[in-house]
Structure 1
């Protein structure tokens, strides 16, 4: 039991020291290479995966087959958070052949245990319950 407490303390201390080493982000560092590009294959896979997980709730058995016309909207929303953000939009082609606008946000250190980045993705016309706010507002800069 003592070894467990020591290990738990060591892991906690490691995460706290990492948080202090990372430090806040200045406004000039928002579009650096800490986040992958909107057009990156790993980002497109993450967007498709996020929408596939939500498929049972609102996509009515449709999944994303591809994303085209991808562009970055803005690198940061309000300048308050120390985490880098990247806001993107594109045109998603679904398995039923329709094309829908998809908005997605990448957030630094928001992945599993804060180690990697995370993506939130939303297709406004399919988000009837406004899970991501009206017109996907939480996935777009303010």
Structure 2
């Protein structure tokens, strides 16, 4: 066993040629591999048509039911709170597609919410075309000012506005 290990040791003068031969063999094997080819017509655009944003985004009022249920779920599940949204007021659109036309269409809205504790707060939200789960249906991002407890849209729900 000792002879095997001592026989693997080579003098320093043989290390450079062996290293060069090993690298040459590796590069030679890589050069023999098959060259990359362009996609054929079936592979070219098969189910890869890309997004077609038409700007069909629901009105501001259509998201209020979803905000109410998601707010109650978030407060009761994560913050052990009994707060609920009891009423909405002054709902209005603040922006529609505020950036370039090739961005994902969003409708930004704001309004007042009355909570079950009797306090009036502001809600900011955006309705996003194809922003739902896996790009299916419309998505919704919202923030109630003063109740962004995990600071996702801090400060004062600024990140939920355009």
TM, length-normalised to structure 1 = 0.70
3-state SS in 2 of match to 1:97? coil
Q: Which has the higher contact order (CA 8 A, sep 6+)?
A: 1
> Is 1:37 paired with 2:37?
no
Deviation at 1:79, TM superposition (A): 2.2
> Is 1:122 paired with 2:122?
no
Which residue of structure 1 aligns with residue 70 of structure 2?
Answer: 50
CA distance in 1, matches of 2:134, 2:75: 25
Deviation at 1:54, TM superposition (A): 2.1
Change in 2 beyond 3 A, CA 1:99/1:65: same
Which residue of structure 1 aligns with residue 119 of structure 2?
Answer: 98
* 1:118-137 deviation per Cα after TM superposition (whole angstroms, max 9, x unaligned): 11111121124321131112
RMSD across aligned C-alpha pairs, in angstroms?
Answer: 2.2
CA distance in 2, matches of 1:97, 1:80: 41
Structure 1: give runs of 5+ residues left out of the alignment.
1-12, 26-31
> Is 1:134 paired with 2:155?
yes
- How many residue pairs match? The answer is 116
Change in 2 beyond 3 A, CA 1:81/1:92: farther
Out of 65, 84, 87, the residue aligned to residue 66 of structure 1 is 87
Over 3 Å off, 4+ runs = 56-59
